[in-house]
Amino acid sequence: MISSVRADAFVEPPAGSRLVVRKAAMRDIPPILALINGYAAKGVMLPRTEFELSEAIRDFSVVTGPDGALLGCGALHFYSPTIAEIRSLAVHEHAKTHGVGRKVVEALTREAGIYELDAVFAFTYVVDFFRKVGFNVVERGMLPLKAWKDCVRCPKFQACDEIAVLRILRPENWEHAQPQPWGLAMTSPADELIQIPTPR
């Protein structure tokens, strides 16, 4: 649903690389649309419309190169006062080894911290990439129900092969709020599943 980057998108940019990370502006809508819908045509992302992006542009952060060209994007979508999803993560093919994906995810994670969220999650095909920025694999069926609202229009809805990943930002709050022993889950092997409780 969201991730059109590979694990090598995590690689540090070359020394002297002038990548700029910033919140998206309305002028970024055409290149974001072109990037996301290019991957949607390959079946790895959901397509977006200009109207949808206009509504959600405040969720987006972008990375631009020295010439101002948009190299990557991603959005932080809130689901509750404590958790949000990193979604619409896309990186231009030619930028995949320049650390663009890493910069986008780190920017969105910092933003989640500013909003004092306890955790962020994502649906992805590139688990290794997310593990390198502190995420763990989780049981996708236990995500908040609202997280599935876009899935119903996905052609893979009945046979989804994406993996859910979670990064806990404030363990002390998360552990206190959850009945499960989250401290143990945090120290378990990266490929173990962590259950996210559904709303009661």
Is 196 a member of any domain? no
Q: How far apart are CA 24 and CA 99, in angstroms?
A: 18
Residues 27-36 have a mean pLDDT of 97
Is residue 154 pLDDT above 60, yes or no? Answer: no
Is 172 a member of any domain? yes
pLDDT tens-digit map of 56-88:
999 999 999 998 999 999 999 998 899 999 999
**CATH number where 12 lies:** 3.40.630.30
Is residue 158 pLDDT above 80, yes or no? Answer: no
Is 199 a member of any domain? no
Higher pLDDT residue, 52 or 197?
A: 52
Q: Is the pTM of this model over 0.85?
A: no
Residues 34-58 have a mean pLDDT of 93
Average pLDDT, whole number, for the chain?
Answer: 78
Is 135 a member of any domain? yes
Number of structural domains (the chain) is 1
DSSP string of the chain? Answer: ---B--GGGGSPPPTT---EEEE--GGGHHHHHHHHHHHHTTTSS----HHHHHHHGGGEEEEE-TT--EEEEEEEEE-SSSEEEEEEEEE-GGGTTTTHHHHHHHHHHHHHHHTT-SEEEEEES-HHHHHTTT-EEE-GGGS-GGGGTTGGGSTTGGG---EEEEEES-HHHHHHH-SS-HHHHHHS-TTS--PPPPP-
Is 100 a member of any domain? yes
Is residue 192 pLDDT above 70, yes or no? Answer: no
Higher pLDDT residue, 120 or 193?
A: 120
Percentage of the residues of the chain whose pLDDT score is greater than 70: 66
Residues 134-152 have a mean pLDDT of 67
Is 91 a member of any domain? yes
Is 130 a member of any domain? yes
Percentage of the residues of the chain whose pLDDT score is greater than 90: 48
- Domain span at residue 17 reads 7-187
